[in-house]
Structure 1
Amino acid sequence: MLEIIAAVNKAVNDFIWGVPAMVCIIGVGLLLSFRTRFLQIRKFPYAMRTTAGRMFRKKDASDGSMTPFQAVCTALAGTVGTGNIAGVAGAIAIGGPGAVFWMWCSALLGMCTKFAEVTLAVHFRERSKTGEWVGGPMYYIKNGLGRHWQFLAVLYSLFGALTVFGTGNATQVNTIVTAIDTALTQYNVIGTDHIPTVNLVIGILCAMLVAMVLLGGIKRIGSVSEKLVPFMALLYVLLGLGVVVLNITRLPEVLASIVVGAFNPKAFTGGAIGSLFISMQRGVSRGIFSNEAGLGTGSIAHACADTKKPVKQGVFGIFEVFVDTIVICTLTALVILCSGTAVNYGTMAGADLTISGFTTTYGSWASIFSAVALCCFAFSTIIGWGLYGSRFVEFLFRTSKAVRPFLVIYSFVAILGATVNLDLLWNIADTFNGLMSIPNLIALLLLSGTVVKLTKEFFAKEDGRKLKK
C-alpha cells in the first residue's frame, strides 16, 4: 500500500515541481516585474534603506501585531531553513556549479513576486475576533477576488494545513537530530546504540520549546524570531565568509564555473552533467523552494506587521529574498566550491556536502558549528510554519478556538519527527507544498493590477515628500 502511495505521489510531485510549475512561477514573476517596471531593481537602494537601515530602531507593536522587523524575521524564520544548507548542496551536485547562476535568476524575479505577495497580504488583511491581524494568500483571495474565487482560498489553506506537519515540523526536527547525532558520535560522546534514546529526548525537548513559543502568541513568536534569525544568519555568514577568504585564490575560478557552467555544465563537471536544462531546472527550483516566492507563505507573517503602508512592508519581501537566496544560498555554494571538497556530480547530496566544505577548511571542530547552525535554521523554520499553520486552521474553521489544539498537536509532531523514518512524509509534504502555489499564482495574476496601483500611489507620495523637503 505504501509503495502505491509513494509511486502516485512521485508522479504528481514530478509534474508539480517540473516544467509547468517553473514556467508558471517564472511567468508570474516576469509579468509582475514588467508591470512594476522592475521595481526590485529600480527601488533596491530604497528597499535596503527601509529594511536593513531600520533594523536596530526600537519600536513597540500595538496589541495583536508585530513590529515590521519582527514580521520579516518571522517570515525569514520560515524560509531560511535546512534548504539553504542541504538544498543548495543538492542543486550543485545534480546541476553543477551553473545551478547557482539560475538560482540567482529565480531570486531576481522572486523579489518582485514576494513584494507583490506581502503588499497584497497587508492591503487585504483583516482583524480576527481575538484582535490579531490575519492575512496571506487566502485572505487576499477572499477579500480581493470576490466570492466566486473563494474555493481557491479554501484549497490554499487546506494544502497548507497538510503541508505544515511535514515540511514545517517533522522533517526539520529530523534534521536537528541527525546533526546532533553526527556531532556526538564523531567525538565519541555517545555510541550508536544510544542514538534512539537521545533522539527521543531531543524530540521531547523540541516539542516543549515549540509549544512554549507558539502558545505564547504573536508577541512571543515575533520576539523569539527577531533574536534567533539575525543571530543564526550572522553566525553562518561570518563562518562562510571565512571559508571564502581562506580559499580566496580559488574564487575567480569558482565564479567562472558558476557563470560558464550555467550554459555549459559538462565543462566543470567532468561530463557527469551535460544538460543545460538540468542545471537550469535544479537552480530555479531550489531558489523557489528556498525563498518561497510564489508559495505565498511568507506574506502570512508580514500581514501581522504593525504598519499602515502595504507597499512599504512589501519591500521587506525584496529584502527577504535577497538575504535568503542571494546572500545565504550563495554563501553555501561558495563554501562547497571554494573549499575544494570533493563533489560527486550527478549523484544526490545534502547537508553533508556543505559540512564537508566547512571541515575541509577549518578542521573537524566545524562539524559542531554545522550542527548548531542546522539546529537554529531548523528550529526557526518550525516556528515560522507553526504561525502559518495556525492561520490556515483559523481560516478553514472560521474560528480561533481551533488554533490552540492545532498548536498542541503541531508541537507533539516534533517527537514523531525525531524518532521515525520520514522519507514518504517528506515527499508527500513536498507535493502539497507545490499544490499551494497554484491558487496563489492565480491570485497574483488576477490582482497584479492592484499591486501596480498601490505601488504607483505609494511612490508618488514618497516622491512628493522629497520634493517638499
Structure 2
Amino acid sequence: MYEKIYDFVQSVDDVVWGWGMILLLLGTHVFLTIRTGFIQRKTITKGIPLSVSKEESADGEVSQFGALATALASTIGTGNIIGVGTAIALGGPGAVLWCWLTGVFGIATKYAESLIAVKYRVKTPDGRMQGGAMYALDRGLHMKWLGMIFAVFAGFASFGIGCATQVNAIAEVCSSNLGVPPVAVGIIIAVLTAFVIFGGIRSIASVCEKLVPFMALFYVIGCLVILGINHDFVIPAITTICRLAFADQGAVVGGLVGGGLRYAIQYGVARGLFSNESGMGSAPIAAAAARTKNPVRQALVSSTGTFWDTVVVCLMTGLVLVSTMMKTPELASGGIVDGGQLTTMAFSQIPYIGPFILVVGIITFAYSTILGWAYYGERCVEYFSGKIGLIPYRVLYIIVALIAPVIALDLVWLIADILNALMAIPNLIAVLLLSPVIVKETKKYVNNLDAVDDTPIPVIETGVGGKKNGKGKKR
C-alpha cells in the first residue's frame, strides 16, 4: 500500500516540478532581475549594512535583523545540508550549479516579493503586523480568492517543509550519532517548540537572532576546514560542476557521472527553492513584521537571506560534497547515493569533531526552521480563519513535531516538494502582475533609503470577511 501511495505522490511531484514550473520559476527570477535593474548589485553594498541597522521609530513588530533572522531560520535548514546532497545524488554534481544560479537570480525575486509584502501589509486591531503574498494578492490585485489559495497551501506546507522533515532529520542524526531514541527526540522538540511559538513573532525572532548567526558560522567553519583538507580537488570540483550542469545523460567528468541536463536542472532548481524559498512567498511573511521606513529598505534586507543561504552556504556544501566524491572514488562509483550519507562521509574527514559539527549543524538548522515556519503557518491560518484558528494550529504543529520521527522521510520530502510548487504559483503571479509597482517603488526609494513612506497602513480584522477598521495609521 505504501509503495502505491509513494508512486502516486512521485508522479504528482514529477508533474508539478516539470519543465513548466522550472521555466516559470527561473523565468521570473530573470525577469525581475532585469526589471529591478539587477538589484543583486545592491546586496553587499546596501542590503547587508541595512540588515544590522536599527529603526526603533519605524512602525513594525520586530527589528529588520529580527525579521531577517526569522526568515533565515526557516530557509537555512536541512535543505542546505541534506537537500544539496540529495540534489547531487539524483541530478549529479551539475545540480549544484543550477542550485546556485537559482539563488543568484532568486535574490531579485526575494527582493520583489518582500517589497510587496511590506507595501500591502496591514495591522490588526491589537497592533500586530500582517503581510505576505496573500495580502499582496488581496489588496494589490483584488484577488482575495487567490490569496486564500496561497494561504491554504502555505498553511499545509508548514507541517511538511517546516516541521515534519526537520524533526525527522534531527531524529535521524541524533539516533545514528548519539543513540537517542527517535521518540525521545520528538518529545523534546515538541516541548521546546511549544515554549517558543506560543510567544508569537517577538519570541520567535528573539530566539532566531541568537541562534542563526551561531549556527551559520559554526557550519561554514566546518565547510572551510573540509575544503582545506580537499584543497587539491576544489578547482577540479568547480570545473566538473560547471561541465556536468550542461552535459547529456550519463556524461562522465573527473570520474563523476552526470544526471543529465533535465535532472540536473530539475533537482538543482527544486533544492535551490527548497533551500532559499525565493519565489515561494514564505520569507516575506516575516519581512512584513519588520520596523522599516519604506518597503525597499526591508526588501533589500530580506534579499540578503537568499545570498547567505544559497549563494554562500549551499555553494559551500556543494563544493564540500563534490570535492569529497572526487577525492574518494567509492562515492563516485555509486557506493553511496543518499544525500545524508554523502554529507556524513564528507564531514567524517575532520578528525574527531567532524561528525559533531554535522550533528550540531543539522540540529540547529532544522530547529530554527521549525520555529520560522511555525510563524509563517500561523499568519496564513489567521488570514483565512482569524485568530480563532491560531491555538488549534499551534497544537497540531506540536503534534506533527511529536510524531515526525516515525514518519517515512522520503514520502514527506516529496509532499513538501509538491506543496512548495503549489505555494509558488500564486506568489509568482503576484510578483509578476505587481512588477510595475515594484519598479516604481524601487526607483522612488533605492537611492533615498532614509525616506519615510507615509502611506497609511490599514487596520483590519483578520480572517474571512475581515473588514477595515478605521482609516489606518501612517508608517
Same fold (TM over 0.5): yes
Structure 2 distance, partners of 1:424, 1:154, is 26
- Measured at CA, do residues 417 and 428 of structure 1 come closer, stay the same or move farther in structure 2, by a change above 3 Å? same
Structure 1 distance, partners of 2:443, 2:437, is 10
Scaled by the length of structure 1, what TM-score is found? Answer: 0.89
Structure 2 distance, partners of 1:448, 1:270, is 45
Task: Please name the residue that 2:313 is paired with.
Answer: 328
Helix, strand or coil: the match of 1:129? coil
Residues 63, 131 of structure 1: 8 Å contact kept: no
Helix, strand or coil: the match of 1:343? helix
- Measured at CA, do residues 207 and 389 of structure 1 come closer, stay the same or move farther in structure 2, by a change above 3 Å? same
Task: Please name the residue that 1:417 is paired with.
Answer: 404
Residues 269, 345 of structure 1: 8 Å contact kept: no
Shift in Å, 1:416: 0.6
CA distances 1:74-119 after superposition (whole Å, capped 9, x unpaired): 0011111101001111222233322222222211210000000111
Shift in Å, 1:243: 1.1
Residues 129, 400 of structure 1: 8 Å contact kept: no
150, 160, 167: which is aligned to 2:154?
A: 160
356, 368, 371: which is aligned to 2:345?
A: 356
Task: Please name the residue that 1:449 is paired with.
Answer: 436
Helix, strand or coil: the match of 1:436? helix
What letter matches 1:207 in structure 2? A
Task: Please name the residue that 1:189 is paired with.
Answer: none
Structure 2 distance, partners of 1:416, 1:376, is 19
Task: Please name the residue that 1:305 is paired with.
Answer: 290
Residues 107, 321 of structure 1: 8 Å contact kept: yes
379, 393, 397: which is aligned to 1:391?
A: 379
**Aligned residue runs from structure 1 range 76-155, under 5 A:** 76-146=72-142, 149-155=143-149
Shift in Å, 1:278: 2.3
Q: Name the stretch that deviates more: 408-417 or 67-76.
A: 408-417
Residues 172, 378 of structure 1: 8 Å contact kept: yes
Structure 2 distance, partners of 1:132, 1:8, is 41
Q: Does 1:368 align with 2:362?
A: no
What letter matches 2:126 in structure 1? T
Q: Share of identical aligned residues, percent? A: 39
Structure 2 distance, partners of 1:44, 1:212, is 35
Shift in Å, 1:61: 8.1
- Measured at CA, do residues 255 and 216 of structure 1 come closer, stay the same or move farther in structure 2, by a change above 3 Å? same
Structure 2 distance, partners of 1:208, 1:101, is 39
Shift in Å, 1:297: 0.3
231, 249, 270: which is aligned to 2:214?
A: 231
Structure 1 distance, partners of 2:6, 2:298, is 40
Task: Please name the residue that 2:172 is paired with.
Answer: 178
Scaled by the length of structure 2, what TM-score is found? Answer: 0.88
Task: Please name the residue that 2:202 is paired with.
Answer: 219
Shift in Å, 1:17: 1.4
Indicate the RMSD between aligned Cα atoms, in angstroms: 2.3
Residues 66, 205 of structure 2: 8 Å contact kept: yes
Task: Please name the residue that 1:49 is paired with.
Answer: 49
- Measured at CA, do residues 236 and 305 of structure 1 come closer, stay the same or move farther in structure 2, by a change above 3 Å? same
What letter matches 2:151 in structure 1? S
Q: Larger helix proportion, structure 1 or 2?
A: 1
Structure 1 distance, partners of 2:71, 2:364, is 15
Structure 2 distance, partners of 1:382, 1:245, is 32
Structure 2 distance, partners of 1:42, 1:207, is 40
Residues 75, 298 of structure 1: 8 Å contact kept: yes
Structure 1 distance, partners of 2:430, 2:97, is 29
Helix, strand or coil: the match of 1:362? coil
Higher relative contact order (CA 8 A, sep 6+): 1
Q: Does 1:72 align with 2:59?
A: no
Shift in Å, 1:67: 0.4
CA distances 1:258-294 after superposition (whole Å, capped 9, x unpaired): 2233233724264743622322332222212211111
Structure 1 residues not aligned, in runs of 5+: 186-194
- Measured at CA, do residues 403 and 63 of structure 1 come closer, stay the same or move farther in structure 2, by a change above 3 Å? farther
What is the aligned residue count?
446
Structure 1 distance, partners of 2:392, 2:450, is 48
Shift in Å, 1:130: 2.5
- Measured at CA, do residues 180 and 459 of structure 1 come closer, stay the same or move farther in structure 2, by a change above 3 Å? same
Structure 2 distance, partners of 1:345, 1:454, is 52
Structure 2 distance, partners of 1:274, 1:425, is 23
Helix, strand or coil: the match of 2:253? helix
Q: Does 1:377 align with 2:365?
A: yes
Helix, strand or coil: the match of 2:338? coil
Residues 77, 225 of structure 1: 8 Å contact kept: yes
Structure 1 distance, partners of 2:97, 2:114, is 26
Task: Please name the residue that 1:252 is paired with.
Answer: 235
Structure 2 distance, partners of 1:444, 1:406, is 28
Shift in Å, 1:344: 4.0
Task: Please name the residue that 1:191 is paired with.
Answer: none
CA distances 1:406-433 after superposition (whole Å, capped 9, x unpaired): 1122112211102343443443333222
Shift in Å, 1:62: 7.7
CA distances 1:230-265 after superposition (whole Å, capped 9, x unpaired): 110000011111111232222222222122332337
Q: Does 1:315 align with 2:300?
A: yes
Shift in Å, 1:462: 4.8
Residues 93, 344 of structure 1: 8 Å contact kept: no
Residues 378, 390 of structure 2: 8 Å contact kept: yes
